[in-house]
Structure 1
Amino acid sequence: MIRILRGLAHKYFSDEEAVILFLLILAGVIFIIFFGSMLAPAIAAVIVAFILQGLVTKLNRLGIPEIVSIIGVFFVFLGLLIGVLFGLLPLIWTQVTGLAGEAPRIFREMQSYLEVLPEQYPTLISMEGINTIYNQVTTEAGRMTQWLVSFSLESIPDLVALLIYMVLLPILVFFFLKDRRVLLGAIARMLPSQRPMMVRIWHEVNLQCANYVRGKAVEILIVGGITYVAFKVLGMPYAALLSLMVGLSVVIPYIGAAVVTIPVAMIALFAFGWGSEFIWVMVVYGVIQALDGNVLVPILFSEVNNLHPVAIIVAVLFFGGIWGLWGVFFAIPLATMLKAIFSAWPVKNGQAEALPKES
């Protein structure tokens, strides 16, 4: 065992820079686990600034001075943030509470649909099973409705904290954009002067993660916006809420689309019944998903090395288990970063032959 460990240490950690990088990654993970919730505004500001920096760079290439580009991009971000806070969120909350109020009628209709199934498929479905499922669903729905009713009173401290975060976030984003070189220079001075591997990893991570995160932000806006317009034209209730869910579902490939299809189909069924309107809603929704996967994603992520579906699912499970919802949201960028680190990691003696790339 000792010989095996010594061999692994020589193969992967014989380079001093590799040891330093490993310790930095380990310290960063431990720091986020214990202090991530406390520093959530700063972490969110770094991510937002990372997204906006690409637009600043493009404006610089057009000949616009950097400080003017930063101020212009910041005010665009500020306008979007104000629009979300005072436009989108109240609308979403109204639709969520409205859906909670209609829950009893929806469940009564669902029960009538379910009661027919044992008659049509007696060998596959029993009435006892239907009743069990129905009772579980109605119990969870009752808990959710009770939470919505008590939310406004019990969550006042959380709302105050959220307001503080909403003030801190734009300030931090502005200074991260404005003083990006100063901050990166301060971090670089704490690292070894000769760091070719770290520089190579930084460029790879910057290319892959920046393209992915910015591409996902654009994809969410496009998919969510098109879904909202389509649902409004079709007369779909709760169009804003559903389009937000569809837009955010693209963050988790495969899993997100499968999960969000259930509420879309259920609300369309209860709104229109088994008819042509329901079919039109599902066809349009299917077309949007198909165009997103086969047209929009290849255009936005042409420069990103796509992860294998198994790697995506494992990343979602792993990071979601560590950091909850935030881990699920950032699972793919984190997995992309790890892939870039493993690709650039120095390996000595007995290095395995590279596998042929998939066509």
Structure 2
Amino acid sequence: MISVFGRWYRRKFSDPDAAMLLILILITTAALLLWGELIMPVLVAAIVAYLLDWPVTHLVRFGVSRAIACGIVLMGFITLVIFMLIGLVPIVTRQSINLIQETPLIWQKAQDWILTLPEKYPDYVQVYQIHQMMEGLNDKLVGVGETLISASFSNIANVAALLVYAVLVPLMVFFMLKDKMYFLESISNLLPKERRLITQVGHEMNSQIANYIRGKVIEIVIVSLVSCVTFAFMDLRYAILLGVLVGISVLIPYIGAAVVTIPVAIVALFQWGLTPDFWYLFIAYSIIQALDGNLLVPLLFSEAVSLHPLYIIIAVLVFGGLWGFWGVFFAIPLATLVKAVITAWSSNPAGLPVAESK
């Protein structure tokens, strides 16, 4: 076994470039795990800078100086965010509060329906089974409610952190956009001479991450807007809140669509019951999901992310567990990075002969 591992190690890491790539990955992973929360504003600023680099580059091509182009694009982005916060957040907050207040009524109606099951299906459902299930669910709901309350109080302490993000992140974004080449050269000077595979993976991931961030933001906006308009047109309660949730759900492929279906179904069922309106809504909702997966995603991402669905789900679980929201957001690019690293290691080291099997 030791000899097998030794042959594998020599085959994969006999190239100094491959060893340097492994060391860089280990150092970066350790830094993120140890100081991830401290450097999170820097990572957020880098994400926004990736998002805004495309319009800045196009303004520069039209003859605008890079500093002025960065100022124009950043001010436009901040203005758009402020308008969204002023126009959208109050509506979503109000509808969220109303939904929370009506949750006991929805749960009571669900319990009344569950209690009718023994009468409808006496051969399959017994009364004592229903009561046991209801007691367990009630205990779970109480625990969830206590968790939400404690989380809401703990978030009050994050107001100072929010102010830090509001002030420091825009400044860092401006300098990252304005002095992009300076920072790239500085990073390049820090890298070792044995950088062939590092450069290969870096070039591949640079374009993929930038395209992914822009494409994912556009996808969220389009899906949210279409969902809100559809739900409002069909007179579904909490249309804006549910539409925003549907848009945000595209952050988590496959899993997000499955999870967000639950609140949409609960609200529609509570409002209409199993009536034609309920089924019309779900036909429209299914069309939105189908168009997103089969039309919008291929247009926005093309072949940039060619990963098997199982790998995507595993990436969401692993990176989401490590870094929460941002881990979920970057699950696909990080999975693509892992794939690029594995591909780079699997390639034949430059200048080294392929070992012949004896």
Q: TM-score, length-normalised on structure 1?
A: 0.89
Give the length in aligned residue pairs: 352
Partner secondary structure for residue 237 of structure 1: coil
Within a 5 Å distance, the mapping from 1:213-232 to structure 2 comes to 213-232=213-232
CA separation of 1:202 and 1:149: change in aligned 2, threshold 3 A: closer
Residue of structure 1 equivalent to 2:274 = 274
1:295 Cα deviation from its structure 2 partner: 1.0
Distance in 2, matches of 1:173 and 1:281, equals 41
Matched, 1:211 2:211: yes
Distance in 2, matches of 1:249 and 1:266, equals 17
Residue of structure 2 equivalent to 1:340 = 340
Distance in 2, matches of 1:135 and 1:166, equals 45
CA separation of 1:293 and 1:76: change in aligned 2, threshold 3 A: same
Q: Quote the RMSD (CA, aligned, Å).
A: 2.3
Distance in 2, matches of 1:243 and 1:324, equals 22
Residue of structure 2 equivalent to 1:308 = 308
1:51 Cα deviation from its structure 2 partner: 1.8
Residue of structure 2 equivalent to 1:318 = 318
Residue of structure 2 equivalent to 1:25 = 25
Larger CA deviation: 153-162 vs 223-232: 153-162
Distance in 2, matches of 1:116 and 1:190, equals 69
Distance in 1, matches of 2:125 and 2:175, equals 60
1:149 Cα deviation from its structure 2 partner: 5.6
Partner secondary structure for residue 192 of structure 2: coil
Partner secondary structure for residue 155 of structure 1: helix
Residue of structure 2 equivalent to 1:251 = 251
Larger CA deviation: 43-52 vs 61-70: 61-70
Partner secondary structure for residue 106 of structure 1: helix
Residue of structure 1 equivalent to 2:60 = 60
Residue of structure 1 equivalent to 2:176 = 176
1:50 Cα deviation from its structure 2 partner: 1.2
1:129 Cα deviation from its structure 2 partner: 3.8
Residue of structure 2 equivalent to 1:189 = 189
Matched, 1:41 2:28: no
Counting aligned pairs with the same residue, the percent is 43
CA contact (8 A) 1:319 1:327 kept: yes
Q: TM-score, length-normalised on structure 2?
A: 0.90
CA separation of 1:127 and 1:61: change in aligned 2, threshold 3 A: farther
Distance in 2, matches of 1:29 and 1:129, equals 49
Residue of structure 1 equivalent to 2:85 = 85
CA contact (8 A) 2:20 2:195 kept: no
Distance in 1, matches of 2:273 and 2:291, equals 26
Distance in 1, matches of 2:208 and 2:6, equals 33
1:223 Cα deviation from its structure 2 partner: 0.2
One-letter amino acid of the structure 1 residue matched with residue 299 of structure 2? I
CA contact (8 A) 2:96 2:241 kept: yes
* Structure 1 runs of 4+ with >4 Å offset: 143-154, 348-352
1:351 Cα deviation from its structure 2 partner: 7.7
1:218 Cα deviation from its structure 2 partner: 0.6
1:26 Cα deviation from its structure 2 partner: 0.7
CA contact (8 A) 2:21 2:197 kept: no
Distance in 1, matches of 2:30 and 2:71, equals 35
Gaps of 5+ in 2: none
Distance in 2, matches of 1:154 and 1:342, equals 41
**Can you list the C-alpha shifts for 1:41-64, whole angstroms capped at 9, x where unaligned?**
111111111122123223334444
**Can you list the C-alpha shifts for 1:94-141, whole angstroms capped at 9, x where unaligned?**
222211111111111111222223333344444344334433444444
Distance in 1, matches of 2:167 and 2:271, equals 40
CA separation of 1:342 and 1:296: change in aligned 2, threshold 3 A: same
CA contact (8 A) 2:268 2:278 kept: yes
Distance in 2, matches of 1:3 and 1:110, equals 62
Residue of structure 2 equivalent to 1:164 = 164
Within a 5 Å distance, the mapping from 1:134-153 to structure 2 comes to 134-146=134-146, 153=153
Larger CA deviation: 276-285 vs 316-325: 316-325
Distance in 1, matches of 2:2 and 2:148, equals 57
Distance in 1, matches of 2:18 and 2:171, equals 35
1:316 Cα deviation from its structure 2 partner: 1.4
Matched, 1:96 2:96: yes
Distance in 1, matches of 2:257 and 2:148, equals 26
1:296 Cα deviation from its structure 2 partner: 0.6
Larger CA deviation: 65-74 vs 174-183: 65-74
One-letter amino acid of the structure 2 residue matched with residue 115 of structure 1? L
CA contact (8 A) 1:209 1:336 kept: no
CA contact (8 A) 1:97 1:148 kept: no
